[in-house]
Amino acid sequence: YDPDLHPFEVAREYTRAMNAVKMERIFARPFICGLDGHRDSVQCITKHSTQLSLLLSGSCDGEIKIWNVAQRVCQGTIPAHNGFVRGICVIPDGEAFYSVGNDKLIKRWTMNNYETPAMTIVGKHVFTSIDHHYKNPQYATSGETVSLWDEQRAQPLQTFKWGADSHVRVKFNPIETTVLASCAADRSIILYDTRQSVPLRKITLRMNSSTLAWNPLEAFVFTTANEDYNLYSFDIRYLQRPFNIHKDHVAAVTDVDYSPTGKEFVSGSYDKTIRIFPSDKGHSRDIYHTKRMQHITCVQWTSDNKYVISGSDEMCLRLWKAKASEKLGVTRNREAETLEYNEALKEKFSHFPKIKRIARQRHVPKHVYHAKREHKTIQDSQKRHEANARANSKPGSVPFVSERSKLVLEEEE
């Protein structure tokens, strides 16, 4: 290879990187379709554990719909509960699924029988969510307390209690299958182990968390969606501070779900937008919004890493591409090589100002744009006050405190 035969290497590569980034923005059309049918706002979505194309969604009028996403049709509707359907979870074999609702019932349904549930359990209090163990025939519900149930029994195996508040969400760890986490209404997050009778740890944040999601590839990482517009990623080995704060939403974050690669997650928020974050970065890499889409209640990332599904207040489920400019369908070898080359170029030249500007550019709804600006001025003024205080007092009396360490108010065992 003689570099003299190829002059202007950097300039040509830079031009190609510019073209690549511009084309990415040209082809960024993430919205695929909307799934209509619910008659009230969608409350929860779950993907099927074994079948890629199946999706179960529960709405606020007690209906559960089973969708075939590949064919974009609703396979069946089940009038499941009187009141909200709060949570659905599919058992690992994929034969049956559980649903909980505002009528204090846990119902077990088999996949083909939409008339009657296979089992109904009456509970003592309203259940807010349900999650199944990744291997064993056990599941956990959250409500006033977090209870661990066995599939055969009608009484919970174990009940965990810490404080008197109700729990909003419970999630099993997919890798460390005995570990659970729940979000409680007293702004705390509690970790449990099913092998112990007492909860493990409790951390209290500044504001309430609506949900949490475990990283499917890193056993000790979970991300919570908080009402102070941020998402926090915690390492369970060191709960004193989150190792990452994800900021970009302008209203309470309502749901979060990880991609099966564990490298990214999607979050939906009350501000009518969906954002996709890389799990190690503090800001989102993409934002999805539509005029028709109102407050988002639930999001899911499909198991083939390609699509993101969102359910919102206006009774509609929407299917989006996870990578907005990805070409769906068969890509030939040469095309795939060019796409990979373009990705490499974009990464290599990512810090050049023009390229960064084009890559970052997103059209954002007006309310989000204005809200962001306002938040920025608030933050800047706070920082300025702090800087002035620091400048005008004894050096060292106003230390630099990182935002991450300010978050967790207390940790208890």
Partner 1 sequence: MATRRTKKWLHVKERKSKFATRQATRSEILHVEEEGYIVPDAVDDEDERIVDLTQADIKSSVDIFSAQKRFDLQLPLYGPYHIDYTRNGRHLLLGGRKGHVAAFDWQTKKLHCELNVMEQINDVKWLHIETMYAVAQRQWTYIYDNQGVEVHCLKALDRSLHLEFLPYHFLLAATNEAGYLSYIDVSIGKKVAAYNTKIANGNGKCGTSVMCQNPSNAMIGLGHAGGVVTFWSPNQREPVVKMLAHKSTIRSVAVERTGTYMATSGVDAKLKIWDLRTYKCLNEYRTASTGASTLTFSQKNLLAASYRDIVEIYKDLYDEESSSTELPRYLVHQCPNGSSIASIAFCPYEDVLGVGHERGFVSLLVPGAGEPNFDALEANPYQTKKQRKHAEVKQLLDKIQPDMITLDNSVLSEIDRKAFVRKQEDKQKEFNFVKPKELIAKAEKKKGKIGKRLARKSQIHDAKLKEFLQQKQLKRQKTKK
Q: In what order do the strands lie in the sheet with 244-247?
A: 209-214, 221-226, 230-235, 244-247
> Nearer to partner 1 by C-beta: 329 or 353?
353
Candidate segments 185-193, 203-211, 310-318, 383-391, binder of partner 1 by CB under 8 A: 383-391
- At its nearest, how many Å lie between partner 1 and the CB of residue 9? 8
Q: Which of 36, 304, 343, 380 binds partner 1 (CB under 8 A)?
A: 380
Q: Which of 95, 304, 335, 386 binds partner 1 (CB under 8 A)?
A: 386
> With the CA atoms of 322, 324, 325 and 331 taken in that order, what torsion angle do they form, in degrees rounded to the nearest 10?
30
Candidate segments 103-111, 126-134, 304-312, 377-385, binder of partner 1 by CB under 8 A: 377-385
Measured distance CA(90)–CA(139) in Å, rounded = 10
- At its nearest, how many Å lie between partner 1 and the CB of residue 338? 11
Q: Which of 88, 106, 18 is nearest to 342 (CA)?
A: 18
- At its nearest, how many Å lie between partner 1 and the CB of residue 16? 6
- At its nearest, how many Å lie between partner 1 and the CB of residue 197? 39
Q: Which of 26, 122, 330, 391 binds partner 1 (CB under 8 A)?
A: 391
Q: Which of 124, 135, 153, 383 binds partner 1 (CB under 8 A)?
A: 383
Candidate segments 4-12, 199-207, 251-259, 313-321, binder of partner 1 by CB under 8 A: 4-12
- At its nearest, how many Å lie between partner 1 and the CB of residue 68? 41
- At its nearest, how many Å lie between partner 1 and the CB of residue 307? 29
> Nearer to partner 1 by C-beta: 4 or 115?
4
Measured distance CA(314)–CA(42) in Å, rounded = 8
Binding status of residue 334 toward partner 1 by CB under 8 A: no
Binding status of residue 396 toward partner 1 by CB under 8 A: no
Measured distance CA(365)–CA(273) in Å, rounded = 9
Binding status of residue 6 toward partner 1 by CB under 8 A: yes
Q: Which of 329, 400, 401, 413 binds partner 1 (CB under 8 A)?
A: 400
Candidate segments 7-15, 156-164, 302-310, 364-372, binder of partner 1 by CB under 8 A: 7-15
Residues 10-49 that bind partner 1 (CB under 8 A): 10-12, 14-16, 19
> Nearer to partner 1 by C-beta: 8 or 395?
8
The residues that touch partner 1, with contacts defined as CB under 8 A, are: 1, 4-8, 10-12, 14-16, 19, 380, 383-384, 386-388, 390-391, 400
